Structure 1
C-alpha cells in the first residue's frame, strides 16, 4: 500500500492506493460472474437433520401442551417434553430458514456466506 500526501489548506490527507496485484479474489464482482450453486451443494444429511429436528420439536411441543392442558398439576409429564421440544425446534427452524434463503438467493456471494454458516465439514 502506498500513501500519497495531499495538501488541503492546513490539513494533510492521505489517499490509499492498493499496489497488490492479486486482490481480485476478494471483490464481490468476481462472485457475480460465477454461476449460482444448486441445492445439491448442501449435503442431504444436513437437510434431513434440519427437517427431522423441526418436525420432532413441533411434535414434542404439541404433546407437551396437550398434557399441560389435560393435567396441569402433573408437571413431571409435560415439562420435559416442552423443554426438549423447544431445544429441537429452535435450531431446526433456524437452519430450515438458512437453507430456504440459500435456495432463493440471487448471488453467489450470499450463497457462500450461508454455506459457511451451516455446520458442514468438508
Structure 2
C-alpha cells in the first residue's frame, strides 16, 4: 500500500495508480513478459486485420442480378431514347421504356458500387459492413 498514491482525473473521480520502478528486478521481468504479450497480441491483431474476405463470399446470384439489372436498365433507356427521337409523336408509348429502364438501373448502380467498394475495402470490418448491406440470404 505504500507505493500507491491517489490522483484526481478531471474532478470526476479518484483512482489509485501503482507506482512502478524500472530499477527493480521484478519489474524488469514483468516488463519483458508484458512486452512479449503485447508483441504477440499485436501480431495476431495485425494478421486478423490483413485477412480480408475473398470475393467468393458474395454469391454469384447477387453479382449476376446486379449486372443484369444494370445492363438491362441501360438498354431500356437507350432504346427508349432512340425510339423517342425517331418518332416524337408517340412519346407515350416510349416513356414506359424510360421509366422501366430507370427503375432497373437505380438498384443496379447502387449494388454495383457496393461490390466495387467491397473489392477495394482496406479492412475486414469495412467489408463486413458492406456485406450486411447486400441482399444475401
Question: TM-score band (shorter)?
Answer: 0.7 to 0.9
1:33 equivalenced with 2:16 (yes/no): no
Aligned-residue offset at 1:6:
5.7
Aligned-residue offset at 1:91:
0.4
**Structure (1/2) with the larger helix percentage:** 2
* Matching of residues 20-99 of structure 1 within 5 Å: 33-34=48-49, 35-99=51-115
Q: 1:57, 1:96 → 2: CA distance?
A: 13
- Flag the structure with more relative contact order, 1 or 2, with Cα contacts below 8 A and sequence separation at least 6: 1
TM-score (norm 1): 0.73
Looking at CA atoms only, which structure, 1 or 2, has the larger radius of gyration? Answer: 2
CA RMSD of superposed structures (Å) = 2.3
Segments of structure 1 that go 5 or more residues without pairing to the other structure are: 16-29
Q: SS at 2:94's partner residue?
A: helix
Aligned-residue offset at 1:68:
1.1
Segments of structure 2 that go 5 or more residues without pairing to the other structure are: 1-7, 15-44
Q: 1:96, 1:120 → 2: CA distance?
A: 14
Q: 2:53, 2:72 → 1: CA distance?
A: 29
* Superposition misfits of 4+ residues, deviation over 3 angstroms: 5-8
Paired residues in the alignment total 100
